[in-house]
Amino acid sequence: MREPMRIRQAGLPERVTIWEVGPRDGLQNEKALVPTEVKAEFIHRLVDAGLPVVEATSFVHPKWVPQLADAEDLLRSLGEAGRVHPVLVPNERGLDRALELGMQHIAIFGSATETFARKNLNRGLDEQFAMFEPTVARARENGLDVRAYVSMCFGDPWEGDVAIEQVVSVGQRLLDLGASQLSLGDTIGVGSAGHVKALVGAFGEAGVATDRLAVHFHDTYGQALANAHAALEEGITTFDASAGGLGGCPYAESATGNLATEDLVWLLQGLGIETGVDLERLVATSVWMAGQLGRPSPSRVVQALS
- pLDDT category, 124, cuts 50, 70, 90? very high
User: Mean pLDDT of all residues in the chain?
Assistant: 95
Mean pLDDT in residue range 168-197: 97
Enclosing domain of residue 48 = 17-305
Domain for residue 10, yes or no? no
- The structural domain count of the chain equals 1
Would residue 249 show up in a list of annotated catalytic residues for this protein? yes
Domain for residue 2, yes or no? no
Q: What ranges in 50-181 are assigned the alpha helix state H? A: 71-78, 92-100, 114-121, 127-141, 164-177
Mean pLDDT in residue range 72-99: 96
Tell me how far the alpha carbon of residue 191 is from its chain's centroid.
16
CATH number of the domain to which 213 belongs: 3.20.20.70
Q: Which of 16, 69, 243, 249 is catalytic?
A: 249
Domain for residue 191, yes or no? yes
Nearest Cα to Cα of residue 105 among 85, 78, 133: 85
Domain for residue 1, yes or no? no
Give percent helix, percent strand, percent coil of the chain, each to the nearest 5: 45, 15, 40
Domain for residue 9, yes or no? no
Domain for residue 214, yes or no? yes
Mean pLDDT in residue range 209-231: 97
Domain for residue 11, yes or no? no
Nearest Cα to Cα of residue 139 among 184, 87, 63, 185: 87
Mean pLDDT in residue range 102-120: 96
pLDDT digits (tens, 9 = 90+) for 139-181: 999 999 999 999 999 999 999 999 999 999 999 999 999 999 9
Domain for residue 47, yes or no? yes
Residue 250 has pLDDT above 50, yes or no: no
